[in-house]
Structure 1
Amino acid sequence: MAPNPTLMQAVEHLGYRVTVGDVATQAGLNVNMAQAGLLALASDARGHLQVAETGEIVYLFPKNFRTVLRNKFLRLRLKEWWEKIWKVLFYLIRISFGIILIASIVLIFVAIAVILIAVNSSRDSDDSGGGHSHGGGGMVFMPHFWFGPDIWWFFYPDYSDRYQQRRVSSPEGKRQMNFLEAVFSFLFGDGNPNADLEERRWQEIATVIRNNQGAVTAEQIAPYLDDIGEGWGKEYEDYMLSVLTRFNGQPEVSPDGEIVYHFPELQTTAQERNSQPVGAYLRERPWRFSQADSGQIMLSAGLGAVNIIGALVLNSLLRGEIGIQLAQSGGLIAFVQSIYWILLSYGIAFLSIPLIRYFWIQWRNQRVEARNQQRQERAILLNQANSALHKKIAYAQQFAAKTVIGREDLAYTTETELIEQEIEQADKIDAEWQRRLNN
């Protein structure tokens, strides 16, 4: 079975030397899952186990462990190849909606132009046959269609140079979308902004526990949970069960009957680390209609409207005598007539989908804001803790501890042979035996 990608990323981020608690905190993984994953990864990636005298285990991995795994697992190689292929395919899917819209508009207005030219030619023939003359040499009427803003700016020869000048970084550090990407964003948005919510939730909870050296109260964890219940369920802190299960926690009861929580697995680390910054509460990100800029959104909506208006004008011309004749004679006009309802439906859907999505986002953001407000209120209560809560937190700190396992604390490691380790630690072993004899 291929290793857990989240676990591998955590190992890399932590410097390739980790404990179960380090990985569980970094990735927000279940402690048992992290332990099983590290054992499997160490076995598959030629990692090493370092055992401290206290019995704690540190996992050491080579920096090229991904290469080792890639050579070992065909499934992992195929997955990496597929991810690269899917990026290209998904990009083509994204830009296809803009390409289809432009193609639809071009097809509609080319058909309109062909029909109008045929109508004008027919009128000129009738005028010439009737012997009528007009001053000015008989101008042929050519319709002029105004598309509003210059919608073809991205087809200009110098578009690439101008695009590079307009390209700026967004607040999130991402490049600005091109027009075809913006069309997809206008239609379908840019994905769920809280797709990683559960991962962030458990990472932040584990970080709070680690920052408090493995001992916390329920009030310190509540700002990161959603539904903490009402009545007896809230009073008895049932919502902490999922946290205890995930991180192998142990409840402890104070002399006053208050419950605090102790997490031994998160008190051990492979290297000294300062307290990590963490938000006062878990904040869900609001849904955005689109990450495209306002100009791209207006242009996309405008093109959708142009598609619908053009389709309606085309329908009127196709019902005329010349339009019927051209359609019956085959060619472009016959083709456009055969897909007319597809062109019109695409234009209607192009504007309807974003409109429906806009109202859906408003409803969704109201619920997001309500949950954020609930968690924020719990954080405020924690910051304004009364004497009873302060006493409870102080009792929890009696169980606080932090164990950093350095190389000097190791009793055994799989990096070298056991005999070599005994030779290297001969002085240490002699000193330990001498201490025991003296006792």
Structure 2
Amino acid sequence: MAPSPTIMQAVEKLGYRVTVGDVATQAGLNVGEANQSLLALASDAGGHLQVADSGDIVYLFPQNFRAILRNKYFRLRLQEWWKKVWSVLFYLIRISFGIFLTVSIALITVTIFMIITAANSDRDGDNRGSSFGGGGFFYFPNLFWYLSPNYDTHYQERRRERREESNLNFFEAVFSFLFGDGNPNANLEERRWQEIATVIRNNRGAVVAEQIAPYLDEIGEGYTREYEDYMLPVLTRFNGQPGVSPEGQIVYYFPELQVSAVKKRRHAISDHLEEFPWRFSAASSGQIMLSAGLGVLNFVGALVLGRLLSDGTVAAQLGGLVAFVQGIYWLLLAYGAGFLGIPLLRYFWIQWRNRKIGDRNRDRIFRARLLASPDAPLQQKINYAQQFAAEKVIGNEDLVYSSETDLLDQEVERSAQIDAEWKKRLERGSGE
């Protein structure tokens, strides 16, 4: 089984020397899962175990452990290859909707032009171009100028002059108008557990429930005094233990998160978990208007074309492109309707979704404010939790064993360290 990408990223960010608590905090993972994953990664990537005199374990990894794993796991190489291929495929899918829109408008417009021109030719051979030629030929160059790369360049220049923030080209903007730009809270659970673990670390491994509540959802109104069932998933994930004060208040401490391989500064984080609102599109307002306008043009053109093709005789008489367009007419009409319908439905769905997000954010802010101005019982509870607070940083001087070197060599080195320490003490004693 290939190692977890989340674990590998955490190890790299932490400097290749980590404890289980370090990784659980960095990645927001379950302590048990982090422990098992680190053991597997150390075994597969040639990592080393360092044991402190307290019994705590530090994992040390070579900085080229990804190269080691790539050589060992075909699946890992395949995943990296597919990631590159998929990025290209997905980009082609994104721009295909804009390409199909321009092709659809072109087909519809050219077909309408051919049908009307043929009809005028049948009515009056001498004036077959007069009824449509003046408006038609004026219309076509303008339409295709809108769809041409030159127009996109011109539009980009105007957009830069207006200082609108959008890095999307025309085809990317069409996809963004249709489907948006993804879930802004796709990593919400990862962020939630990372921030909870950071809060615990910042408080040296001992917290009260009210310090964790601003990062959780669906907590009852009486959470500040009565029910703390919402802490159970936190205890399970980080191997926490509850403690009870003489006044019957519950506090929580997490031994694994109190041990680190490197001394770290206190991380500044938000006082609550914030969900980001959904955006309709990352395209600029001009790009959205252009996409919507072309969508309307495409749909209206499809309706007009449908009326011209309704009797079925025109396509039979003209054949060629007209017959081909009649064969795919329902596809063109469905695309035109979907091009306008999907963004409209998505707009109302986003409004509903953002109201829900706003409600949850307000609830978390309310809990954070209660914590910012604690009353006497809550402050007493926080003070009691600090009795369980501890922080242990494992340095090389704390190690009693490392799998990097032979056990006999370590015994000799350890004995030399002890002798040197005793010699220093004797010298200090004789000096006094």
Give the TM-score normalised by the residue count of structure 1: 0.89
Question: Post-superposition shift, 1:208?
Answer: 0.1
One-letter amino acid of the counterpart of residue 250, structure 2: I
Aligned to 1:155: 148
SS of 1:49 mapped into structure 2: strand
SS of 1:425 mapped into structure 2: helix
Counterpart pick for 2:204 among 192, 213, 217: 213
Counterpart pick for 2:331 among 339, 342, 349: 342
1:252–1:149 distance in 2 versus 1, CA, 3 Å: farther
RMSD of aligned alpha carbons: 2.8
Q: CA contact under 8 A between 1:260 and 1:392: conserved in structure 2?
A: yes
Q: CA contact under 8 A between 1:167 and 1:175: conserved in structure 2?
A: no
Aligned to 1:59: 59
SS of 2:252 mapped into structure 1: strand
Tell me, in whole angstroms, the C-alpha distance in 2 between the residues paired with 1:245 and 1:185: 40
Counterpart pick for 1:406 among 395, 401, 408: 395
One-letter amino acid of the counterpart of residue 399, structure 1: F
Tell me, in whole angstroms, the C-alpha distance in 1 between the residues paired with 2:269 and 2:241: 23
One-letter amino acid of the counterpart of residue 310, structure 1: G
Aligned to 1:2: 2
Q: CA contact under 8 A between 2:166 and 2:284: conserved in structure 1?
A: no
Aligned to 1:125: 125
One-letter amino acid of the counterpart of residue 258, structure 1: Q
Q: Which moved more, 1:338-347 or 1:252-261?
A: 338-347
Tell me, in whole angstroms, the C-alpha distance in 2 between the residues paired with 1:232 and 1:127: 83
Give 1:221-240 correspondences, 5 Å limit.
221-229=212-220, 235-240=226-231
SS of 1:21 mapped into structure 2: helix
Tell me, in whole angstroms, the C-alpha distance in 2 between the residues paired with 1:309 and 1:426: 88
* Residue 200 of structure 1 pairs with residue 191 of structure 2: yes
Q: CA contact under 8 A between 1:147 and 1:306: conserved in structure 2?
A: no
Tell me, in whole angstroms, the C-alpha distance in 1 between the residues paired with 2:26 and 2:45: 20
SS of 2:86 mapped into structure 1: helix
Question: Post-superposition shift, 1:329?
Answer: 4.1
Tell me, in whole angstroms, the C-alpha distance in 1 between the residues paired with 2:180 and 2:25: 32
Question: Post-superposition shift, 1:232?
Answer: 8.5
SS of 2:400 mapped into structure 1: strand
Number of residues paired by the alignment?
A: 421
One-letter amino acid of the counterpart of residue 366, structure 1: R
1:154–1:146 distance in 2 versus 1, CA, 3 Å: closer
Q: Which moved more, 1:413-422 or 1:292-301?
A: 413-422
* Residue 78 of structure 1 pairs with residue 78 of structure 2: yes
Q: CA contact under 8 A between 1:229 and 1:239: conserved in structure 2?
A: no
* Residue 286 of structure 1 pairs with residue 277 of structure 2: yes
Q: CA contact under 8 A between 2:315 and 2:326: conserved in structure 1?
A: no
Question: Post-superposition shift, 1:428?
Answer: 2.7
Aligned to 1:34: 34
1:395–1:324 distance in 2 versus 1, CA, 3 Å: same
* Residue 306 of structure 1 pairs with residue 306 of structure 2: no
Aligned to 2:429: none
1:141–1:177 distance in 2 versus 1, CA, 3 Å: closer
Deviation sequence 1:93-135 (CA, Å, 0-9, x none): 111111111110000011112122223333442679xxxxxxx
1:158–1:228 distance in 2 versus 1, CA, 3 Å: closer
Q: CA contact under 8 A between 1:223 and 1:376: conserved in structure 2?
A: yes
Question: Post-superposition shift, 1:397?
Answer: 0.7
Structure 2 portions without partners, runs of 5+: 424-432
Aligned to 2:378: 389
1:424–1:259 distance in 2 versus 1, CA, 3 Å: same
Tell me, in whole angstroms, the C-alpha distance in 1 between the residues paired with 2:302 and 2:383: 73
1:230–1:257 distance in 2 versus 1, CA, 3 Å: same
Q: CA contact under 8 A between 1:10 and 1:23: conserved in structure 2?
A: yes
Tell me, in whole angstroms, the C-alpha distance in 1 between the residues paired with 2:111 and 2:180: 32
1:31–1:151 distance in 2 versus 1, CA, 3 Å: farther
Give 1:103-142 correspondences, 5 Å limit.
103-125=103-125, 141-142=132-133
Q: Which moved more, 1:157-166 or 1:219-228?
A: 157-166
Question: Post-superposition shift, 1:5?
Answer: 0.7
Deviation sequence 1:258-316 (CA, Å, 0-9, x none): 11111110011111110111111011111111111111111111111000111122233
Aligned to 1:428: 417
Tell me, in whole angstroms, the C-alpha distance in 2 between the residues paired with 1:33 and 1:278: 25
* Residue 44 of structure 1 pairs with residue 44 of structure 2: yes
Deviation sequence 1:168-193 (CA, Å, 0-9, x none): 9x99xx97111111111111111111
Tell me, in whole angstroms, the C-alpha distance in 2 between the residues paired with 1:68 and 1:176: 37
Percent of pairs with identical residues:
64
